[in-house]
Amino acid sequence: MFDITLGLVGVGKIVRDQHLPAIAETPGCRLRATADPHASLAEVPAYADMAAMLDAHPEIEAVAICTPTDLRHAQARLALSRGKHVLLEKPPGATLSEVEDLIGVANQQGVTLFAAWHSRFAPGVAEARQWLAERRIERVEIVWKEDVRVWHPGQAWIWQPGGMGVFDPGINALSIATEILPQPFFLRRARLLVPSNCQTPIAAELSFSDPEGATIGAEFDFRQSGPPTWDIHVDTDAGSLSLTQGGCRLSIAGQRVREEAEREYVGLYARFAELIASGRREVDVAPLRHVADAFMYGQRDAGEAFFE
């Protein structure tokens, strides 16, 4: 068992819904304090900023940074420079340049930096990757739709530059696709629907291909009503595979192979502990690079104003 004394930076919805339960289930992981100017937890010391938290608790060995993306680079850089291990909520930064800088600082300091793509820890992902590794991919369909009012209530930052809009959930789909598909893939076309009063898209349609000619289509939409749709379907030369319910259900050739409850963040913290114990870093920027490509290469269409 490897013990971690942890500080949490940011105490928003994702922390309360996912991080806190996962930390409680991770053997040896002890939450010592939080840093957030607007929120706190009753059971642990709270500070307005991370520097104050680290000054007051030098025993903190690692921090999980769960703030909006435009704040993460400065916070992560400070933590790394103080010799702390860092877990970055997805996406790991507002820009690729920021993430590359953090990788360099982590290497210099000899500490762990973990870009935490939580959807990769869904129950069916590892088995899907293993099965697809020996198949030729012919076609991939990704459908990732949810109601922004349910999953991001009152989070105005998501519509501002760096907030990513529908790519905030869409990047989860891309993190799974880049994990399970055996070949890299590249953006060919993109259409981004941007509300007239927002800076980021509410919906997106993407077309990719891989070096062997497979076609990969993705449809992201924040306007879903009712239950979300988080599905990936893959046609191969040896049959089809479907990861649905965000990766909780895996079907191969029409037969259900795995269906389990979502426990992504438990797996995520177990991986963080493993990386710290072995002195390694894990920062895959492929999902973020695909989003950056879409913003750079995509056609922007103006849509109706969005009001929550």
Active-site residue list: 90
CB atoms within 10 A of CB 265: 21
Whats the size of the chain, residue-wise? Answer: 308
DSSP string, 146-177: -BHHHHSTT-GGGGSTTS-TTHHHHHHHHHHH
Please report, for residues 16, 91, 129, 148, the alpha-carbon distance to residue 122 in angstroms, rounded to integers and kept in the order given: 19, 17, 12, 21
Q: What gap in Å lies between CA 64 and CA 49, rounded to an integer?
A: 13
Q: Which residue has the tokens 């891309």?
A: 174
Q: What gap in Å lies between CA 52 and CA 71, rounded to an integer?
A: 16
Find the radius of gyration of the CA atoms of the chain: 19
